[in-house]
Amino acid sequence: MLRLATKVCTMDLSIVIPVYNEEESVVALCQTLDAALKPLSQHYEVLLVDDGSTDQTPVLLRELVQTYSYLRVIRFRRNFGQTAAMSAGFHHAQGEVVITLDADLQNDPADIPLLLAKMDEGVDVVSGWRKHRQDPFWSRRLPSMLANGLISRITGVALHDYGCTLKAYRRDIIKDVHLYGEMHRFIPALASWVGGRVTEVPVQHHPRRFGTSKYGLSRTVRVILDLITVKFLMRYSLGPMQMFGKIGLMFLVPALLLFALMIGTHLSFLFFGTTVGAELVKRPFWLVSATMLSFLGVQFISMGLLAEIQIRTYHESQDKRTYVIRECWPEETKGT
């Protein structure tokens, strides 16, 4: 069994690659990676995260570990998904820069120096942009274009290609990002939320040579739900009452106005004999509407209060800070 070190960072570069039933491509992948990494004047490692493969992939990985000294393998007990595989890779990566890419060779390892050159400009995240994507238009490219536009608009981080796995991250940024569900595609937005500088660069994209895609349109619903979660985390995670309270007031204010209208109409009839609007507010619809709106308003405000309590419990129980420090001047002594 491999011992996976999590010590202080001693590597310049870590390559994290999720692998799931890639027996046809994994050998060619390692050969291509070796050719792309050898010219680099950096200390690097490659982490292949086997996401519960059921074919001959584990057997091939065991052989490849003996061939390439920089190769490390993390094996899951079962298939947990691409996000979990990336999260495990990030946790065990020791490099100052972490690069992710797919195992099917549609991403080209030869583009790694291009991402590293962009990182040298001082950015924290470099996202690959498959400008000339080699996938079917109707089933892959068009849905991707629509999704990228939606994600960019909602998160405020404009990228052409959130779905491209080929990305580079600084380790001090990625260690503060926690991944769940299908959130791996939203890492640039989450990194921007913690203060990271994000850019993109066009990269190559090759036609699929091996197997079939493991992911399709069936993930759309999960991606949309995770997008809602990301928006909440980026905007309201430290003050959920700001969201739930606003929704509650949207229901509560009209309810109070309706109650005021009904009470005012009845009082005007009792004291002044005015009948204008009296027949209107006597209808049960208005009373029922005002009551339902009141209940909804109180319900959302109560949810906001409960969420505020949970957020505070989360941060205080884990001593979780509500901020991320880039650096200190002068440097602080460890442990202070």
Residue 43: give its domain's CATH number: 3.90.550.10
- Beta pairing class for 44-50 and 11-19: parallel
- Asked whether residue 8 carries a pLDDT value surpassing 60, the answer given is no
pLDDT, tens only, 108-140: 999 999 999 999 999 999 999 999 888 888 877
Q: Confirm if 103 and 29 have CB atoms less than 8 A apart.
A: yes
The whole-number average pLDDT for the span 328-333 is 51
Domain that holds residue 43: 11-235
- Asked whether residue 264 carries a pLDDT value surpassing 90, the answer given is no
248 and 196 part of one domain:
no
261 and 230 part of one domain:
no
156 and 299 part of one domain:
no
284 and 145 part of one domain:
no
Report how many domains make up the chain: 2
- pLDDT for the residue 289: 84
Q: Domain for residue 285, yes or no?
A: yes
127 and 267 part of one domain:
no
Q: Domain for residue 323, yes or no?
A: no
Q: Domain for residue 5, yes or no?
A: no
54 and 106 part of one domain:
yes
Q: Confirm if 47 and 16 have CB atoms less than 8 A apart.
A: yes
pLDDT, tens only, 12-61: 999 999 999 999 999 999 999 999 999 998 899 999 999 989 999 999 99
CA 46/CA 89 separation, integer angstroms: 10
- pLDDT for the residue 238: 66
Question: Which band of pLDDT confidence, cut at 50, 70 and 90, is reported for residue 2?
Answer: very low
Question: Which band of pLDDT confidence, cut at 50, 70 and 90, is reported for residue 77?
Answer: confident
pLDDT, tens only, 204-239: 988 877 666 655 555 666 777 777 777 777 777 667
Which of 235, 269, 303 finishes a domain?
Answer: 235
Q: Domain for residue 172, yes or no?
A: yes
15 and 66 part of one domain:
yes
- Asked whether residue 192 carries a pLDDT value surpassing 60, the answer given is yes
- pLDDT for the residue 321: 57
CA 47/CA 6 separation, integer angstroms: 13
- pLDDT for the residue 5: 46
User: Which residues, 6 or more positions from 26, have their beta carbon under 8 angstroms from its beta carbon?
Assistant: 19, 48, 57, 60, 61, 64, 103
Q: Domain for residue 37, yes or no?
A: yes
- pLDDT for the residue 179: 78
CA 14 to chain centre: 20
Which of 235, 261, 287 finishes a domain?
Answer: 235
262 or 8, which is more confident? 262
CA 223/CA 151 separation, integer angstroms: 10
80 and 132 part of one domain:
yes
- pLDDT for the residue 147: 86
Q: Domain for residue 1, yes or no?
A: no
CA 263 to chain centre: 50
Q: Domain for residue 325, yes or no?
A: no
pLDDT, tens only, 93-106: 999 999 999 998 99
Which of 193, 218, 235 finishes a domain?
Answer: 235
CA 283/CA 166 separation, integer angstroms: 62
CA 194/CA 25 separation, integer angstroms: 36
Q: Domain for residue 126, yes or no?
A: yes
248 and 267 part of one domain:
yes
- Beta pairing class for 71-75 and 95-100: unpaired
- pLDDT for the residue 1: 42
What percentage of the chain reaches a pLDDT higher than 90? 35
- pLDDT for the residue 215: 56
Q: Give the pair of three-digit tokens for residue 16.
A: 């994290």
- Beta pairing class for 95-100 and 198-202: unpaired
- pLDDT for the residue 170: 94
159 and 18 part of one domain:
yes
CA neighbours closer than 13 Å in the CB half-sphere of residue 31? 6
pLDDT, tens only, 236-259: 766 777 778 888 888 988 888 888
User: Which residues, 6 or more positions from 187, have their beta carbon under 8 angstroms from its beta carbon?
Assistant: 125, 167, 169, 174, 177, 179
- pLDDT for the residue 124: 94
Return the amino acid letter for 130: R
87 or 216, which is more confident? 87
CA 109/CA 15 separation, integer angstroms: 10
112 and 191 part of one domain:
yes
| Mean pLDDT of the residues in the chain | 81
The whole-number average pLDDT for the span 277-302 is 77
Nearest Cα neighbor of 17 from 43, 53, 67, 56 is 53
153 and 298 part of one domain:
no
